[in-house]
Chain A
């Protein structure tokens, strides 16, 4: 039972849930985009700040949730991402859609799903969080009514996510059948007593891997990613790329680290294959993309593959590396999509790499930001991406998983090409045929400001990562 004292432990989740309800009610009274946006921003900020009021230590909230340093860290990360996405959505929605207020309900709800997922300690809470996250996403992806591509990809995502959820659910049921538990510690106990994995358990685990792999868009469950990224509006794509994937990854870490599922050699092998395939295919397929959102989609597949390297190291260092890299990935992806949003206009988004031709001569500051983002994603030194990759590699080399390390190095080498291609286009000569005279959506305030902030973060983490690492080191070992 949740006692009253337990409530302050889940303060961030409560704030977001409450905010969703208030936004809904306020729409019934009076529509006002500015207010709704501002209120959503405040709620995300409040959720992030409220983490400070949660006492230190690891607490169970009923048997469903566990609030520990790891969970809190991800809570802040997701709330911040939500904040940034809300900020970036304002002018975008103003320009492209008439009824905007419901967007924020959906955004808050799916963030709520993500926020509960990162503190889930039980398959039931995990599954419910996943559904809260996904169901709101279906609508978010198809939110722009005028945009047939968006609606199409919304339906696509609905079908695919429903299928993956059904796998997941069935897998959970099979695991339950075998171990008699749904909470992670119970499963861990059940596993250690039974020793060898039984057939039923293997089948269950495989299905869970499919479900999680789908959400994280790992190869071979990645096919939806480019379509959805390209079809959805850019802020929503940013949300899918960061919050949705990050939350599932957090649960994946918790699931396999706390149950010791990775100690099993076969499970480890399966994940290794998935990781290798994701790194290689993600980067290979991105090479020929002309559409920047598809490029980012493939790149994110690759990045999730990189994260798996640290995950597969099964050490504290791996855990820290993964967490650090995830923060870097969040920052980079948000800034990348932020730039796409900035460059979009009423008629459509700046989808093609050619739309950025000669950007440096028109908007040098924006081009400098986008360049840094690309360099960080590519892992060039003095950006956060480089250090993130360095940590991943050290985590990998420490335990001697050379195959993964080598694939990581090779695939980030491949990755450099398409990232630098974007950079090269921005510095190339001016675009002669200025087709669209339509002004871009981005405004200096608040959009340019938040981009600049993300840009500075990328550099800050790249030069002085200790600031972030110290926090991560405190939370990272808690989970095991």
Chain B
């Protein structure tokens, strides 16, 4: 079967074909054909992914090499795909959720003109393709190809409605923040090349132990900076909530199934490096936890339905990084999976609400919608229960696994993480109650227009709701069912179990009970607070949270403004005044009093020449100066 796995190239190939067909022929094709191509190609990839998954489950894994992408002397970068437990699980998530979102989009975007429709689907396919490249690459260069591609596609998708400048600003922000991350990633890449002479995972990881601690620490920290940009962690998280400007299915795709997982995948893939750099691991754990808390507090005061979900994503990703930081890779990946289910569900359900409200996203003008949008309400509720970690919903198992590993690692981490979990339950149920309970606060017209979404939107919701409910059963801890942790078993070839558990079963049970009781208490609290809508006053801490800790303003002040000014300075002052001015001053000094030369000097050419001469003198001076 080894040879059959060589065919994995077909998985990214189909979305690429879909992209090409929809991109090139979007004018000729009818909308239904576009939708068919868009969804069909992803479906084929999904089926192939399931096949690959089953292969891997039977113990096959392979590095499929195709040709030498780059070869320069002894340095070679093969175009190769890694097929193992980790990548095959991600393949399933990406193509599976990707397919559901494609189907949902066919209905959500149906009001667009044919051409835009085609463009939208072609971007979506390209996005899936890039993401597949990212997780399948067997070396850092192929991973980087996908990494860049994902950034480019998200730029295109977020800015999809480019006529709105607000949107293209958000797209730019996402892009710029990702550039910062890419820069760190590239530096890490070249550091790896210069130290190990290779970029292939197997070679790099086998040589990792021979590297100095400082090298490994620098490499892993740089990689982590790259990850913070993709996975929206402190300090590069502000782009993600702004990226809500894109169409809702895009938010679901970016926030649940794909892009934000890129950083997590990369860190997990580089586990061999991180295990040698305890400092980096601590940095990851602390950054993750800080992000989780920060984003959760912000989410408590947001009024835009998608913004709340966006901050909750940032917060959940923080949890996953906490897991990676304490070495609980399996728990982290488990939470990636369950999070993909319930976050996709929540976003798509929010899309359904927005759809029903005719584009309204402010929860202050919603309320009482559970009667009209039954399916949406129930599925959203499932999502909330899952994200809050109520047993037996999926979030319970994965979040519990993370909390437990935090407890084993450090009690303080555990307490803070638990606090974050309570915040999660609070803001999610605030969102639920304000949206669906109480009385309707929108306009007459909106109320009249309220309706449940068509089947192409509700069926994906139901599928995702089932997954959000049952997805956790893939990782039932030992205390409930011996050998029930199927996901850890599946991942064990890549991520061997992390040592023996130090926590006794009784402690584990008590912790679970404690979490559950506290979360339920918080939900009850939220019920009394938000059962009926009361305008929230904005002052003190509330205002501070509502304004997202003023981080955007801070960045504006300390980074963007100076850069802007520097740019303007360069083009206006430096080029025009300093260069020309300097040249003119020197020229005037040299040629003062000489009418003839002054005539010559009026032209720009002379100043150019003068700069040439000055530079030459400078070169000579440098040479003479350095000679000693």
CB within 8 Å of B: which residues of A? 156, 159-160, 163-164, 167, 196-197, 199, 202-203, 205-207, 209-210, 214, 220-221, 223-224, 227, 265-267, 269-270, 273, 281, 284-285, 287-288, 316-317, 320-321, 380-382, 386-387, 390-391, 393-394, 397-398, 400, 405-406, 409-410, 413, 416, 420, 424, 427-429, 464-466, 469, 473
- What's the minimum C-beta distance from A199 to chain B, rounded to whole angstroms? 7
A-B contacts besides A284-B571, A409-B183, 9 pairs, CB < 8 Å: A206-B623, A221-B612, A285-B570, A381-B145, A382-B149, A393-B190, A398-B193, A413-B179, A469-B70
- CA of A163 to CA of B615 in the docked complex: distance in angstroms? 14
Tell me the nearest residue of chain B to A163, going by C-beta: B609
Contacts of A167 in B (CB 8 A): 612, 616
Q: Are A409 and B186 closer than 8 Å at their CB atoms?
A: yes
Tell me the nearest residue of chain B to A273, going by C-beta: B622
- What's the minimum C-beta distance from B309 to chain A, rounded to whole angstroms? 28
Q: How large is the interface on B (under 10, 10 to 19, 20 to 34, 35 or more residues)?
A: 35 or more
Tell me the nearest residue of chain B to A400, going by C-beta: B194
Contacts of B624 in A (CB 8 A): 199, 202
Contacts of A223 in B (CB 8 A): 579, 607-608, 611
Contacts of A469 in B (CB 8 A): 70-72
B626 beta carbon closer than 8 Å to chain A: yes
Contacts of B69 in A (CB 8 A): 465
Provided the pairs A285-B575, A397-B194, A413-B179 are in contact, do residues A160 and B163 lie with their beta carbons within 8 angstroms? no
- What's the minimum C-beta distance from A289 to chain B, rounded to whole angstroms? 9
Contacts of A227 in B (CB 8 A): 604
* The one of A284, A382, A424 that contacts B567, using a Cβ cutoff of 8 Å: A284
Contacts of B73 in A (CB 8 A): 316-317, 473
- CA of A380 to CA of B73 in the docked complex: distance in angstroms? 24
- What's the minimum C-beta distance from B195 to chain A, rounded to whole angstroms? 10
Cβ contacts B96-140/A at 8 Å (1 or 0 each)? 000000000000000000000000000000000000000000000
Q: Are A466 and B68 closer than 8 Å at their CB atoms?
A: yes
Q: Are B612 and A164 closer than 8 Å at their CB atoms?
A: yes
Q: Are B193 and A397 closer than 8 Å at their CB atoms?
A: yes
Can you pick out 25 interface pairs between chain A and chain B where the beta carbons lie within 8 Å of each other?
A156-B605, A163-B609, A167-B616, A197-B623, A202-B620, A202-B623, A202-B627, A206-B620, A209-B619, A220-B611, A221-B611, A223-B611, A269-B622, A270-B619, A284-B567, A285-B571, A320-B72, A393-B190, A397-B194, A424-B159, A424-B162, A428-B162, A466-B67, A466-B70, A469-B72
Contacts of B627 in A (CB 8 A): 196-197, 202, 266
Contacts of B168 in A (CB 8 A): 424
Q: Are A160 and B609 closer than 8 Å at their CB atoms?
A: yes
Tell me the nearest residue of chain B to A158, going by C-beta: B605
B141 beta carbon closer than 8 Å to chain A: yes
B152 beta carbon closer than 8 Å to chain A: yes
B508 beta carbon closer than 8 Å to chain A: no
B residues 333-371 touching A (CB-CB < 8 Å): none
- CA of A387 to CA of B163 in the docked complex: distance in angstroms? 34
Q: Are A429 and B162 closer than 8 Å at their CB atoms?
A: yes
Q: Are A287 and B611 closer than 8 Å at their CB atoms?
A: no
- CA of A205 to CA of B622 in the docked complex: distance in angstroms? 12
- CA of A24 to CA of B623 in the docked complex: distance in angstroms? 47
Contacts of B72 in A (CB 8 A): 317, 320-321, 391, 394, 469, 473
Q: Are B567 and A210 closer than 8 Å at their CB atoms?
A: no
B75 beta carbon closer than 8 Å to chain A: yes
- CA of A473 to CA of B622 in the docked complex: distance in angstroms? 36
Contacts of A206 in B (CB 8 A): 616, 619-620, 623
- What's the minimum C-beta distance from B134 to chain A, rounded to whole angstroms? 11
Provided the pairs A221-B612, A288-B567, A316-B73 are in contact, do residues A381 and B144 lie with their beta carbons within 8 angstroms? yes
- What's the minimum C-beta distance from A261 to chain B, rounded to whole angstroms? 12
Q: Are A203 and B605 closer than 8 Å at their CB atoms?
A: no
- What's the minimum C-beta distance from A342 to chain B, rounded to whole angstroms? 20
- What's the minimum C-beta distance from A132 to chain B, rounded to whole angstroms? 22
- CA of A428 to CA of B159 in the docked complex: distance in angstroms? 11
B48 beta carbon closer than 8 Å to chain A: no
Contacts of A429 in B (CB 8 A): 162-163
- Find the residue from B609, B616, B626 having the highest chain A CB count within 10 A: B616
- What's the minimum C-beta distance from B404 to chain A, rounded to whole angstroms? 40
- CA of A164 to CA of B75 in the docked complex: distance in angstroms? 40
- What's the minimum C-beta distance from B123 to chain A, rounded to whole angstroms? 11
- CA of A273 to CA of B627 in the docked complex: distance in angstroms? 16
- CA of A420 to CA of B159 in the docked complex: distance in angstroms? 13
Cβ contacts B589-627/A at 8 Å (1 or 0 each)? 000000000000000110111011001100110111011
Q: Which 5 residue pairs spanning A and B have beta carbons closest together?
A: A397-B190, A381-B145, A206-B619, A223-B608, A220-B615
- CA of A130 to CA of B624 in the docked complex: distance in angstroms? 28
